[in-house]
Structure 1
């Protein structure tokens, strides 16, 4: 569980902020309530915004009021006061003198494993009262429900730069067992058990049941071991096994195709007991495996009670959270699992490290777990803790890259309120990177969106105003599927579509006309003088009014006044362009620009104006309207009027505020809808927000 990731392979999910009544995911599965996100706490709030601060593994103190997380980059523990879980407060840090890898609590004590081989015991007053030499590099630490024993997985992690990371590499890992009464440490050897590198066991995670039995995952060895902590004896050990999973994406090719098959060792990371005889594993994979799912095992027999197969990846695809760039590796990478019983219902919570979500399962029948919800998280969810006494689930996410607005966080979810509504696709239609939105003429409950350059070929997605993606249409040119960087779409009254295509250093900005079957009928370039000043940050929206097609240019063109963007009108009769200037708000940080344009009537247009910031730095996410003159010469500046500030809505989901609000439509029901682009989970949290703004325009 060390920090071995980069920010370039991140992931996606989609939250629907709705004014109207939309069925929730939990309700769709027969439950009247579920978990909803209450808050998101950036770890840097315990230091400063310019500090590098992560939140990897976390625990919640016995009274349920303080989250304690490991901050490896800062070599410290972080504290968050969740007395009010909707308004968490920074509660300081405690230096560890090394990188903490895990933390747990024993009554009023905290137990922090530190990578240099120590278990640091911290009092309720945050004083280090004891340090125990573990004799090796620890990973996970767990406390027995009885309070009698502490177990620490001593991984002695292999060096991936030595011999290509191949096993074996000494020294061998083991399980450290500490008697909480005497603080005496006993080492339980784990060598000679696995068929994979038996001389080099690398225990990754440990969990303890009410019988004082520990289950330990030997991730790289693809093995599971059950240990009696009272005797220090191994009660059972068995391989985690391999599984053939069909119907998954196995190729990194900018498209999601659930047609591949893998045969892989499970190589479990996180483990958790469900009962005293059953436990669950998150099958992340590491050395040479990863089955992309999670499994329930019988601890007595070693038998597989249930396995997720391809289901978890299919769920990720349906919720827009699938990381295509990881298709040729380990897919969504289930990282960790936790168990909790809420209002009598037993749940397992499964973190997807690359998909940036926590999946919730009802395990009332462990042989047939029922998926109930997908909880969108920030990047790299590592730790997950169930707190049934307060009806809470806490997820800590380690990814930290301030340069792109990605920060390590602690997120709190609560049971009992209305769960987050979510956009979901039917029949496994893959989606993400919804870069535009349009009404469908003549239909009150229909919208269309389009995928941008994250995926190829370009697809037009049909969805209901209630948030269900239920159709897809591939764009073709001369009979061949084509990939554009489509940033705008409008469905035409006479059938077909217009696309606004953003250019690059090697491709031009285009206005593209499609027929009703998505076939390219016409590609229209910009005037040479305008095209010469645009490469990236070009066309971002398109609208149609009468015989004119209107486009929005995202950023200020070279030579134009500062803090302006261009609005272009293409006359389809005369085949000529004319231009207006649009005044942009000055962004406190970064830049501001346009990302959508919609025709309200023949004279009025609405645009989305946004900055390029996310999280707490986000400042401009607004809808403005403006009227256009009937005739003009030159490039006059329009007068804009505020219509809606979207920032409060984006904040109301209590998540990480998304930067790319890129779709806007006035549907046939008279309501206005907006959507964010999740960048296909690349260098973004992956969460998409789809907003029903009511009768706004």
Structure 2
């Protein structure tokens, strides 16, 4: 019965994708962008207002209604503290915002969808317990008291809006890919082999992602068949001490029908501190991906989008996806090899060419450039994660997050930019 339902879903997806050309977004009035999203106050911590924002960790277009989009938050407002994070609003639920660009060209919120566990109860962004996707991070409240865990918790980072109305969401814990209903109720949780969630699995090696550097991007191919996820940075394979290739990260594909996976290597321009963030499809084998650093655009930050192709790239899944360190060459994990060694072994990463440099093109000021949606005709919608308007003051407490050039509070903003 499950296979039959999946087959029906794919046929629906294919029909919808055939009818919907992303270029139909071009008659929407984007002339009033960039625009900030509307916000209320979520909490006040130590006299600092935390905004009810965070929308822009990932983004997706509505699969059939032009000018409508979905953006998603991460796990919620937090600051660094000891061996984990202070959660400034511990009961915060990762949330999807559905909005449209209305006839006047303004952002108009349609609804908010809170993510829920299989029983329909709102989840939190608290870390997963051991064996369920734990990164080893400890959660604290704003006063430094230890909080619990949430086996359905999610540090959501990217979103796919499927033609049947459901959502696929990737995260930085497990890393997990979670399938949610249109109402945000969990239907399936796909995690690396060895993580005790669900029956369909990702390669075991992906569990060696770094804390807060999990599956940062996720998209679906236009044929509706395959999910494509990007790991944010170099993984610690086999260990932090032994992983030396700081510009190597991985792309994983998951066949929605068969559950089969593939992996490809991606060569970052920067080092281990830089990020490969969201991904959006422009074809079944061609995509756009974000590369960024952690600096503000006006302070020399790198905010670029690359066109990549899987065609000709080597599948490095290996013969045993249960192997904890994944495929090896020279009796070493891929992360232990230099690019010269990888090339000598006949392994090719995905090809990439620059599509746009946002700092050069727009004078883009935000630090966390994290969401993209391809609109067709070489136009790209761009979103940022505003961190709920707060950052760490260096002592584990929040302070207002401001843009250095303007002094304004950083808020989630939508841009549209032409790309090469």
Same fold? TM cut 0.5: yes
* Deviation digits for residues 22-49 of structure 1 (CA, Å, limit 9, x no counterpart): 2899xxxxxxxxxxxxxxxxxxxxxxxx
Equivalent residue, structure 1, for 2:413: 690
Q: Over the residues paired in the alignment, what is the CA RMSD in angstroms?
A: 3.0
Matched-pair contact (CA < 8 Å) for 2:314–2:349: no
**Cα distance in 1 for residues equivalent to 2:357 and 2:191:** 33
SS in 1 for 2:57: strand
Match of 2:386 in 1: 678
Match of 1:544 among 202, 215, 220: 220
Matched, 1:496 2:166: yes
In structure 1, C-alpha distance between the alignment counterparts of 2:277 and 2:94, rounded to whole Å: 18
User: How far apart are 1:693 and its partner, in Å?
Assistant: 2.7
Residue from 189, 194, 205 that aligns with 1:529? 205
Residues 579-635 of structure 1 deviation map (CA, whole Å, 9 limit, x = unaligned): 111111126xx8212110111111211101001112543331001011112784326
Query: What secondary structure is seen at the aligned counterpart in 2 of 1:581?
Result: strand
Which of 296, 299, 319 aligns to 1:617? It is 299
The CA deviation at 1:431 is 3.0
Call closer, same or farther: CA 1:533–1:459 in 2, change over 3 Å: closer
Distance in 1 separating the partners of 2:367 and 2:417: 22
Which of 340, 343, 351 is matched with 1:639 structurally?
Answer: 351
Return the offset for 1:459: 1.1
Q: Distance in 1 between matches of 2:100 and 2:273?
A: 33
Pair 1:513 & 2:179 matched: yes
Larger radius of gyration: 1
In the alignment, structure 1 residue 659 sits paired with structure 2 residue 370: no
Aligned partners of 1:438 and 1:667 also within 8 Å: no
In the other structure, the counterpart of 2:57 is 435
- Distance of aligned partners of 1:495 and 1:319 in 2 relative to their CA distance in 1, 3 Å threshold: closer
Q: Could you say which residue in structure 1 is the equivalent of 2:310?
A: 628
Q: Is the contact between residue 445 and residue 667 of structure 1 (CA under 8 Å) also seen in structure 2?
A: no
For 1:609 and 1:620, the matched residues in 2 are separated by: 8
In structure 2, C-alpha distance between the alignment counterparts of 1:538 and 1:432, rounded to whole Å = 18
Aligned mates of 1:591, 1:19 — CA distance in 2:
37
Shift of the 669–631 alpha-carbon distance from structure 1 to 2, 3 Å rule, reads closer
Deviations 1:458-511 (A, max 9, x none): 1110122443333211111121011321100010122211101111xxxx2100
Name the TM-score, length of structure 1 as normaliser.
0.37
- Separation in 1 of the partners of 2:294 and 2:38? 24
Structure with greater contact order relative to length (CA < 8 Å, sep ≥ 6): 2
CA distance in 1, matches of 2:283, 2:297: 34
SS in 2 for 1:540: strand
Q: Secondary structure at the match of 1:480?
A: coil
The change in CA–CA distance for 1:450 and 1:661 in structure 2 (over 3 A counts) is: same
- Label 1:23 to 1:553 Cα distance change in 2 as closer, same or farther (>3 A): closer
Distance 2:294 2:313 in 1: 33
**Cα distance change, pair 646–547 in 1 and its aligned pair in 2 (3 A):** same
Q: List aligned pairs for 1:349-360, cutoff 5 A.
A: none
Distance 1:454-1:542 versus aligned 2 partners, 3 A rule: same
SS where residue 573 of structure 1 aligns?
coil
Answer yes or no: is the 8 Å Cα contact 1:445–1:669 preserved in 2: no
Q: Relative to structure 1, is the Cα distance of residues 668 and 637 closer, same or farther in structure 2, using a 3 angstrom cutoff?
A: closer
Cα–Cα, structure 1 residues 583 and 500, in superposed 2: closer, same or farther, change >3 Å? same
Is 1:553 aligned to residue 219 of structure 2? Answer: no
Aligned counterparts of 1:20 and 1:599: Cα–Cα separation in 2: 21
Q: Contact 1:321–1:687 (CA<8 Å) still a contact in 2?
A: no
User: Contact 1:501 / 1:509 at 8 angstroms: preserved in 2?
Assistant: yes
Evaluate the alpha carbon distance shift between residue 586 and residue 695 of structure 1 in structure 2; reply closer, same or farther with a 3 A threshold: closer
Query: Who is 2:97 aligned against?
Result: 461
Instruction: Say whether residues 1:581 and 2:265 are aligned partners.
Output: yes
Unmatched segments (≥5 aa) in structure 2: 1-27, 78-91, 125-153, 193-202, 238-242, 318-347, 392-400, 403-408
SS of aligned partner of 1:680: helix
Summarize the alignment of residues 334-345 of structure 1 with structure 2, pairs less than 5 Å apart.
none
- Of Structure 1 and Structure 2, which has the larger fraction of its residues in helix? 2
5+ residue gaps, structure 1, are 1-17, 26-315, 333-353, 356-429
**Aligned to 2:121, which of 480, 493, 502?**
480
Q: 2:44 aligns to what?
A: 326
In structure 2, distance between residues paired with 1:556 and 1:467? 36
Contact 1:509 1:535 in 2 (8 A): no
User: Within 2, Cα distance between the matches of 1:585 and 1:493?
Assistant: 34
Contact 1:551 1:597 (C-alpha < 8 Å) held by counterparts: yes
2:60–2:159: 8 Å Cα contact kept in structure 1? yes
Determine if contact 1:492/1:498 at 8 Å carries over to the other structure: yes
Matches within 5 A, 1:149-228: none
CA distance in 1, matches of 2:300, 2:249: 20
Q: How many residues align?
A: 282
TM-score (norm 2): 0.60
- Aligned partners of 2:283, 2:414: CA distance in 1, in Å? 22
Asked whether the equivalents of residues 297 and 303 of structure 2 are also in contact (C-alpha less than 8 Å), the reply is no
